Amino acid sequence: MGERGIVPRKVKGFRDIDPVTSRLRRRLIEAATEVYRRYGFEHWDTPVLEYADALGKYLPDTDTADEGVYSFRNPEMEPVLDGRGQEVRDDANNVVMTHHVLAMRYDLTAPLARRYAEELWARDDIRSQQPSSPKPPLFRRYQYGPVFRFEAKLDPGRYREFQQLDFDTVGSTDVAVDAEACCVLSDALEATGLGRGTYEVRVNDRKLHKGLFERVGIADETKARDVLRVIDKYDKIGPSGVAAELQGGRIDPGSGAEVPGLGLPSGAASLVIDYVESCLGVEGRENVLARLESRLADTPSGREGLDEMRRIHALLAGLGYGDDRVVFDPSVARGLAYYTGPVFEAVSKLEVREPSGAVRRFGAICGGGRYDGLVERLLGLRVPATGASIGVDRLAELIARTSAAEAEARGPVLVVVMDPSRMADYQRIAAELRAAGIATEVWYGPQPKMKAQMTYADRKRCPVVVIAGGDEFAKDTVSIKDLLRGKELAGEIADRAEWLRRQPSQVEVARAAMVETVRSILAGGNA
C-alpha cells in the first residue's frame, strides 16, 4: 500500500444519501408535486447561488441570517450598481468594480422574491419608484431542491443541507389563498402516504398575536418576539415556568442555570398566560374562535385576525376540510420576523421510538404563511404573498420510521452472470426487461461466483434475479428466483426437507415467457 494521501471525510452537517432514501425522496416529491399541479401551480427552479443582498437578512425561523448563511466573495469582478440599477462611477468616470458577496440559498422563498422582483424591475414605473399600478401580477409556482444553512449546533437528525418542497402564490391579498394553502398541504401529505388522522395542519394568525400585545400594552417588536418565544416553551416548562420567565426569571431545574426574565408586570403576564390556556383542549375551529373573541375582539389587530380566521374556517368547511385535517391553534408562533398574517404548520401525530427506547411524537414536518413584506424589502413595493414548504427530509424520515414497506424499497432486477464469455447474451436479457419498463442490472463484479452475486442482490434489495447458464441457453430458458418470496418463506419454514420440497421461490421458464413472469412477480403474483 502506498503512502496515505488525504483522509476521506464528509463536511460536518452534510451526508451521503443512500438509494433507499433517494427513492423515497423522489416518491414523496412526485406525489406532492402532482397535487401542486392539480391546483394550478407551475414548476420553476432558481439558482443555488444568489447575491447575498438579494437574499436579505431574514430566515423563516430566526431573526437574522448573519450566522446562518454560507457566503463568500465572488471571484469575478463585477460593477457596483446604485439603487436605480445604474453602474457607479468614480471621480475619473471609471466604473467601480468589486467582488460581490454571494450566498447559497437558505430557503426557496427568498429566491422566489428575487425572481418576482426582477420581473417587476423591468417595468419603467417600478424603476422610477413611481408605480402607476399598485396591483402586482399574480404568480403561482412550486419548486423543490436543496437549501443550505449553517447551524452552529446540530441536533440529531438535523443537517446543514436539506431538501424543501415549496408552493407559493404571489400577488393576491385574498385570504382564500391562505385557506387554499391549508388544503394543498393536507392533500399533499395524504398523497405521500400519511393517513387522515395521523397529521393535522395547525393555523394561526400573526394579527391575533398583535392583538394580544395591544391588549397587554407591548409596543416594542423585539419585546413582543421575546414574549412569543416564551409562549412557545409552554409545553416544556408549564404555566408556572412561563409566568416566571415573563416576569423576573427562573432557575432551570435540569441544569440549574439562571434563565433571565422579561420583566413584564404580573397583570400583563397573567393576560398572556390566559391567552395561551384559553384554547387548550378546545376542539373545533368555531369553539376556538369563540374563546379568542372574548379576549381579542376589543383590539384593532385582534379583530382583523379574527375576521381572517373566520373566513378561512368558512372556506375550509365549505370544501369539506374538517377538524380532522385543519385545526386552529393560537399557540403557533413560527417565523416571527417573517410572516405578516395567517401562519400554518403541519404536525405528525405519529409516534416514533428513539434508539434509547423512548417514544415521542415526531412533530412538525412542514409550514408556511403569509409574507407580504419580502418583495417590499427589494423594491419598496408591498407585494402580497403566501405559501408553504414541506421538509422533504423530515417527511422521508417520518415515513421511513413508521412504515416498514418504505424502509424495504425495491432495487432493480439482477441478471446473474454464470459465464462471462456470454456477456452479450446477458446484456440482451437485460435489454428485453428494460424495454418492458423493468429496471434491470447486469452483474459486472470481478468473479462470477453465485454467492457473491446473491449477496450483492440482497444488499441492493433486488426483488428478482434472472439466471442463465449453459443448460438454460441450450434449452432457450431462464431460471427466475423470487427473492422477496424466498425471504418470506425463510421466516415461515424451519424444516429443511419442507424447504427443499416446496422451493417455490425459483422457477425455470421459456425465454419467451421471461418478461411476463418477472412482471407477475413484481406485481405480487405467483409465478
304-362 tens-digit pLDDT:
999 999 999 999 999 999 999 999 998 887 776 788 999 999 999 887 777 676 767 78
Same domain flag for 339 and 200: yes
Last residue of a domain, one of 348, 371, 394: 371
Same domain flag for 356 and 466: no
Separation CA 52–CA 185 (nearest Å): 30
| Residue 176 vs residue 403, higher pLDDT | 176
Q: What is the pLDDT of residue 128?
A: 63
Local structure of residue 158 (DSSP, 8 states) = -
Three cell numbers, residue 433: 426487461
22 belongs to a structural domain: no
- What 3-state DSSP class applies to 420? helix
217 belongs to a structural domain: yes
Total Cβ atoms within 10 A of residue 320: 8
| CA atoms within a 13 Å half-sphere pointing along the CA-CB vector of 485 | 21
| Residues 282, 184 contacting (CB under 8 angstroms) | no
Same domain flag for 331 and 477: no
- Rg over alpha carbons for the chain, rounded to the nearest Å, is 29
Look at the chain and report how many structural domains it folds into.
2
Q: What is the pLDDT of residue 164?
A: 96
Q: What is the pLDDT of residue 123?
A: 74
Q: What is the pLDDT of residue 405?
A: 43
Placement of cell 391579498 in the chain = 173
Question: Quick one: which H or E segment has residue 413?
Answer: strand 413-417
488 belongs to a structural domain: yes
* Sequence-distant (≥ 6) Cβ neighbours of residue 438 within 8 angstroms: 413, 515, 518, 519, 522
Same domain flag for 517 and 417: yes
Same domain flag for 256 and 349: yes
Same domain flag for 298 and 200: yes
What's the sign of the alpha-carbon dihedral 469, 470, 471, 476?
positive
Same domain flag for 362 and 432: no
354 belongs to a structural domain: yes
Same domain flag for 349 and 443: no
95 belongs to a structural domain: no
| CA atoms within a 13 Å half-sphere pointing along the CA-CB vector of 104 | 14
Separation CA 243–CA 37 (nearest Å): 47
Same domain flag for 363 and 418: no
Same domain flag for 460 and 340: no
Same domain flag for 427 and 328: no
pLDDT in tens, 214-244: 999 998 888 888 998 888 888 788 888 999 9
110-114, 358-362, 423-427: segment of lowest average pLDDT:
358-362
Last residue of a domain, one of 371, 396, 424: 371
Q: What is the pLDDT of residue 490?
A: 46
Domain membership of residue 474 as a residue range:
411-522
Give the predicted TM-score (pTM) of the model: 0.84
Q: What is the pLDDT of residue 60?
A: 54
Placement of cell 503512502 in the chain = 3
The CATH number for 219's domain is: 3.30.930.10
346 belongs to a structural domain: yes
Same domain flag for 470 and 345: no
278 belongs to a structural domain: yes
266 belongs to a structural domain: yes
198-202, 415-419, 499-503: segment of lowest average pLDDT:
499-503
Would you give the end-to-end CA distance of the chain in angstroms? 50
β-bridge partners, 346: 201, 366
**Of 263, 292, 289, nearest to 276 (Cα)?**
292
Q: What is the pLDDT of residue 63?
A: 47
Last residue of a domain, one of 343, 371, 399: 371
36-50, 115-129, 273-287, 379-393: segment of lowest average pLDDT:
115-129
Alpha helices (runs of H) in 217-265, residue ranges in sequence order: 221-231, 234-246
**Of 142, 148, 208, 132, nearest to 381 (Cα)?**
132
11-25, 365-379, 476-490: segment of lowest average pLDDT:
476-490
- Whether the pLDDT of residue 406 is over 90: the answer is no
- Read off the pLDDT band of 253 (50, 70, 90): confident
β-bridge partners, 167: 142, 388
* Sequence-distant (≥ 6) Cβ neighbours of residue 128 within 8 angstroms: none
| Residues 277, 283 contacting (CB under 8 angstroms) | no
